[in-house]
Amino acid sequence: MSRLAKNPIDIPAGVTVEVNGQDVKVKGPKGELSMRVHDEVSVALQDNEQGKQVKLERRSNSRAARALWGTMWSLVRNMINGVNEGYTKKLEIQGVGYRANMQGNTLVMQLGFSHDVQYPIPQGVTVTVDKQTSISVSGIDKELVGAVASKIKSFKPPEPYKGKGIRYEGQFVLRKEGKKK
């Protein structure tokens, strides 16, 4: 049972939330998101001294309802934070000759293969290449930002001997000792 989902979600200033049955629509300064809450969980708007809040409750005490309650609470909270502040994931490229650059709406990376790796950027996500070895993925949908960053990382994950590849900023890569004579 979720302890976090017992708490209502505060709606910050500048963000509007509409609840229509099981459909939740969130509008904010960065954009608009919507989702359908699972039928095992009820969602409602309530007023409080601090302002409006979103409250999620279980419809039953079944195992599925208890599991989905916290998940739906987290998804609604991520939508509210996304349209208000947005999400960003930073990636680092390490390795001699490894680099990336943007060509229109396509991320082109040179990762030591015989060909350049081209990745078309999906809608709803902004990718910027700060330096040739630093990629920043940002957007309002936390799931989509994470999926795009993971896909970019999957083209050349860091290897354990020299540490070459694409990694999240600050990610620790366990290094192995090389072959001995």
Q: Where are the domains of the chain?
A: 4-84, 87-168
HEC assignment per residue over 57-89: EECCCCHHHHHHHHHHHHHHHHHHHHHHCCEEE
Q: Starting at the edge strand that comes first in sequence, how are the strands of the sheet with 134-139 ordered?
A: 125-131, 134-139, 87-94, 165-168
Burial class of residue 98 (count of CB atoms within 10 Å of its CB; 0-12, 13-18, 19+)? middle
Identical fold for domains 4-84 and 87-168, yes or no, is: yes
- Options 3.90.930.12, 3.10.20.30, 3.90.380.10, 3.40.190.10; CATH for 4-84 is 3.90.930.12
Q: What is the rounded average pLDDT for all residues in the chain?
A: 88
The pLDDT of residue 95 is 85
Distance of alpha carbon 55 from alpha carbon 43, whole angstroms: 6
Q: What is the pLDDT of residues 63-90, one digit of tens each?
A: 888 888 888 889 989 999 999 888 999 9
Structure confidence by residue, pLDDT tens digits, 20-78: 888 889 998 988 888 998 888 888 888 877 778 888 888 888 888 888 888 888 998 99
**What's the topology of domain 87-168?**
Outer Surface Protein A; domain 3 (3.90.930)
Separation of alpha carbons 164 and 20, rounded Å: 49
Percent of the chain whose predicted confidence (pLDDT) is above 90: 25
Better-predicted residue by pLDDT, 62 or 181 = 62
What pLDDT score was predicted for residue 121? 92
Residue owning tokens 């990336």: 100
Distance of CA 168 to the CA centre of its chain: 13
